Amino acid sequence: MCGKDDGANLFDGDAPVLRALGVLCDAALEALSPTRCAGCERPGELICGDCLTRLDLIDPATACTHCGAPFGSLVCTECTPATGEPHVLRTSAIGRVLAVAVFDGPMPRIVRAYKDAGEQRLAPLFADMLLDAAVHAQASAEDRYGGLLDDADALIFVPATASAYRRRGFDHMGAIASALARSAGIPLVDALVKHGSSDQRLLGRADRKLQAQGAYEVVEDVRGARILLIDDVITTGSTVAAAADALARAGACHVDALALARVLS
Ligand SMILES: [Zn+2]
Ligand SMILES: [Zn+2]
C-alpha cells in the first residue's frame, strides 16, 4: 500500500492526503515494529529520557580544547605529557576539539544502533546533540570555544570508506552533517574522500595512526575557509587529525572538530 503506484495522478497537488498517508504508514510500521530506545531497548522513543540523562556530557568549560577529553581545565596530560609524544591532535593542524559526551554509559549502544543496525532515524537526533553542545560551548565557554559554530564557513564530515558505505547503505556522518548544516545554517561541503577499506575499530592504536595518514583526499575548494569538521567517535584522534591535516594542506585556514563522543582509555 505505502509504496504502491495507484496511477491517475491521484495525489498530485494534494499534500494533505499524502501527509495523511504518511501518518498511516508510520502508524502501520510502528505497530509492526515498535520503536525501542537505542540505548536500552525500552519501547517508546528512539532515545529514552533515562538514557539521555545517563549520557556523560562533557563540560566545555573544563574540557581539553586540543583533544576534547573532559578534564584538564585547559590542556590535558595526554596533550602535554611529561615524557613521550603529545597527543596526535596536539600535533595536527586541528584547532579546537569538542565532544558531546564520553563514550560510555548508553552512548556506545546508541552509536552502534545507528552505524551497525541501520537505525537512520537517529541522524537528526545526533545532529541536535552536536548543535546543542556547540551552541552551549561557544556561549558558556566563549574564551575557549567562541565562534565554533558562528565563525564556521563550511561544515565538513569525516566520510565513510567505500566498503563501509556499501555495508551500511548510507554515509552515517553525511546524514548527520546534512541535518546539522540545515539547523545550524552552515553550508555543507562534501569535501573529503576516504581511501582504504579497513574498519578502524578492528585496528590497534599504532595501526590506526598509520592507516589514517594520507587516507583522505580533498575534492572541493576549501582555500581560506574556516571549517567545522564533524565525526562520530574520537578514539585516538588519528582519524580527525588526518582529515584536518588534509584540509589544511588543501588551503583551509582553520579546522575545528566536533564529535559525538570521546573515548577515554
Ligand atoms: Zn533508553
Ligand atoms: Zn587533550
DSSP-assigned letter for residue 45: -
Give the global pTM.
0.83
DSSP-assigned letter for residue 27: H
Pick the closest to residue 226 from 244, 252, 251 (CA basis).
Answer: 252
Residue 80: predicted pLDDT: 81
Q: Which residues sit opposite 230 in a β-bridge?
A: 157, 258
Residue 200: predicted pLDDT: 52
Q: Ligand nearest 38 Cα, by number?
A: 1
214 Cα to the center of ligand 2, angstroms: 23
Residue 77: predicted pLDDT: 80
Rounded CA-CA distance 262/265 in Å is: 10
Rounded to 5°, the CA angle 125-131-137 comes to 135
25 Cα to the center of ligand 2, angstroms: 47
Q: Ligand nearest 70 Cα, by number?
A: 2
Determine contact, residues 131/182, Cβ cutoff 8 Å.
no
Enumerate residues 6+ apart whose C-beta is below 8 A from 163.
197
Q: Ligand nearest 41 Cα, by number?
A: 1
Pick the closest to residue 257 from 265, 124, 249, 247 (CA basis).
Answer: 247
Residue 38: predicted pLDDT: 97
Residue 201: predicted pLDDT: 54
Residue 4: predicted pLDDT: 40
Q: Ligand nearest 39 Cα, by number?
A: 1
Residue 208: predicted pLDDT: 55
44 Cα to the center of ligand 1, angstroms: 9
Half-sphere exposure (Cβ direction) of 109: Cα atoms closer than 13 Å: 16
Q: What is the pLDDT of residues 190-233, one digit of tens each?
A: 999 988 655 555 555 555 555 555 589 999 999 999 999 999 99
Residue 89: predicted pLDDT: 82
119 Cα to the center of ligand 1, angstroms: 14
Determine contact, residues 188/181, Cβ cutoff 8 Å.
yes
Pairing relationship of beta strands 216-218 and 192-194 according to DSSP bridges: antiparallel
Determine contact, residues 100/45, Cβ cutoff 8 Å.
no
pLDDT less than 70: residues of the chain: 1-15, 17-32, 72-74, 196-214
Q: What is the pLDDT of residues 165-178, one digit of tens each?
A: 888 889 999 999 99
Residue 162: predicted pLDDT: 83
Determine contact, residues 156/247, Cβ cutoff 8 Å.
yes
264 Cα to the center of ligand 1, angstroms: 22
Residue 211: predicted pLDDT: 56
What single-letter amino acid sits at 224?
A: G
Residue 8: predicted pLDDT: 47
List the domains of the chain with CATH numbers: 57-262 (3.40.50)
Residue 74: predicted pLDDT: 66
